[in-house]
Structure 1
């Protein structure tokens, strides 16, 4: 009985509170000021531990694309200027943090062929911030820890046989049944929000589809075997491409080629110094 109450309470918590711009229910247990402070602190730490690119052409290109994107982000998301840093790393990655922080690794510039594809990347990452995904993920993790702690207490009171096995099964259920799908919904939402944002910023929204085709080709060429979508916090490349293609008819309404910022990708991106 108590266990059922706990699971019901968790379910209510995960389906209540506010909604994202796409209508998805959200739970956010932290204040925006807390998230901004965490984002700023994490960003400062990264700048201390990760080399920063000093190549002017590379920085100018990334700054140009990021500036075009952030101009179209509502001020309610972040007041003031966004800080954009190009990290000198082979990682094929980029990120955005609460508090107006954007990081782009030089490695991803070898996958993005032009300003439009980099606009898709930065639009996607900023989409996570717009939709408060960091707050949701931290809140989901907190709820998971609370649920596991309460379930452990219930199991002890009920003298459940094979308690360790039972708890391990519950943990897997929470991971694959709640946390991972939660992550996949964030990624899909950021794809769609990012596609609309890049279109409003003057970048061709079709480029988001080509970007993920490039990502799929990169994975295939490297011989990496991605886990089944059920076992992953990210949608498969095929799922992302399909969703972006389906949403293209919407994002194209926001696109005007005359608004292109004209950011020029350098012909040569220096390899990481380390």
Structure 2
């Protein structure tokens, strides 16, 4: 849940909208300056621009958003008094559907995400210690 809240706090939806609008603007310019709208050449150019935008702009930013949300979410959990170490270790996995490559996907692989989250774990543990010292203890923790 903290991961999804982090997307909101980091304003990822507005960033994504801006990126989508930029891509649509590029496609509109191709249409506007097309010598023969609807021709095979025009459609190939539109397709190439769409693929280029997806692979060069939209997916990399989407992955950046996922990584940022994972880090922010980890720290939010720590601020709320959840120990980030076992929380991270008990996290689910994200396998792609059968037969689907991981490459075109937005989220980084589970292993990659865990490695990246582990990188800032010392800071998260310190945030957790400070939260507990301030009396933050989640009531939903199993006894």
**Residue 254 (structure 1) aligns with:** 127
- Alignment partner of 1:155 is 2:50: no
RMSD, aligned α-carbons: 2.3
**Residue 215 (structure 1) aligns with:** 93
- Alignment partner of 1:240 is 2:113: yes
Is contact 1:205-1:248 (8 Å) kept?
A: yes
Q: How does 1:34-53 map to 2 (within 5 A)?
A: none
| Residues 264 and 206 of structure 1, relative CA distance in 2, 3 Å threshold | closer
Q: Give the structure-1-normalised TM-score.
A: 0.45
Match of 2:120, SS?
helix
Q: Which has the higher helix share?
A: 2
- How much does 1:169 deviate? 1.1
Distance, in Å, in 2 between the alignment partners of 1:155 and 1:249 is: 55
Q: How does 1:69-80 map to 2 (within 5 A)?
A: none
Q: Give the structure-2-normalised TM-score.
A: 0.82
| Residues 138 and 208 of structure 1, relative CA distance in 2, 3 Å threshold | farther
The Cα offsets for residues 214-248 of structure 1, whole Å up to 9 and x where unpaired, read as 324xx49xxx3374443012111111111111121
- How much does 1:137 deviate? 1.0
The Cα offsets for residues 91-126 of structure 1, whole Å up to 9 and x where unpaired, read as xxxxxxxxxxxxxxxxxxxxxxxxxxxxxxx21111
Distance, in Å, in 2 between the alignment partners of 1:161 and 1:143 is: 24
Q: Which has the higher strand share?
A: 1
| Residues 208 and 149 of structure 1, relative CA distance in 2, 3 Å threshold | farther
Distance, in Å, in 1 between the alignment partners of 2:121 and 2:70 is: 11
| Residues 190 and 226 of structure 1, relative CA distance in 2, 3 Å threshold | farther
Number of residue pairs matched by the alignment: 136
